[in-house]
Amino acid sequence: MYIPNLGELSIFLAAMIGACVGFLWYNTYPAQVFMGDTGSLTLGGLIAAIAIIVHKELLIPIFCGVYFAETLSVTIQVTYFKYTKRKYGEGRRLFLMSPLHHHYQKKGYHEAKIVTRFWIVTILLVIISLATLKLR
């Protein structure tokens, strides 16, 4: 999609992609660098801002599906726990632990396997998102 005067945005996106690739390079198992809440919230905010700038806000839930599932798992877990605590006197859980990746760790999956599968799902979701765009 052509949007005039977005040369600066292209440079910014290239820098952001380079930073993410550098992070992933050093974050492979065993991780040497970790991203905390500040980094992940910044990335999420940048992705949202870029989607708004290029008028593709409705694609966020598709290409950020893994992040969406992680957030949804926490919301579901907390809501269900509070509901069952009120109803039965003790809180019950749907997941062994939330967010979702910790649930898989508790089930016995190795960390590297979980991360690799989340990468694959994210790549597939991005491909699906790109396929929905109109190309000229």
The 10s digit of each residue's pLDDT in 9-25 is 889 999 999 999 999 88
pLDDT at 125 over 90: yes
10: containing domain: 1-55
Q: Are 34 and 66 within one domain?
A: no
Q: How far is CA 116 from the centre of its chain?
A: 13
Q: What's residue 136's pLDDT?
A: 55
Residue type at 78?
Answer: V
Does 4 sit behind a cis peptide bond, omega within 30 degrees of 0 on the bond before it? no
Average pLDDT rounded to a whole number, residues 106-134: 91
Q: Tokens 């599906």 belong to which residue?
A: 65
Distances (CA, A) of 72 to 41, 79, 83, 95: 16, 10, 16, 12
Q: Are 30 and 73 within one domain?
A: no
Q: Are 80 and 109 within one domain?
A: yes
Q: Tokens 């799902």 belong to which residue?
A: 121
**What's the structural domain count of the chain?**
2
pLDDT band at 80 (very low <50, low <70, confident <90, very high): very high
Q: What's residue 90's pLDDT?
A: 94
Reported as a single tens digit per residue, the pLDDT across 30-56 is: 888 888 888 888 998 998 998 888 888
Is 100 exposed, middle or buried (CB count within 10 Å of its CB: 0-12, 13-18, 19+)?
A: buried
pLDDT band at 7 (very low <50, low <70, confident <90, very high): confident
Q: Tokens 């967010």 belong to which residue?
A: 99
**Nearest partner of 129 among 76, 82, 68, judged by Cα:** 68
pLDDT at 104 over 90: yes
Q: Are 64 and 128 within one domain?
A: yes
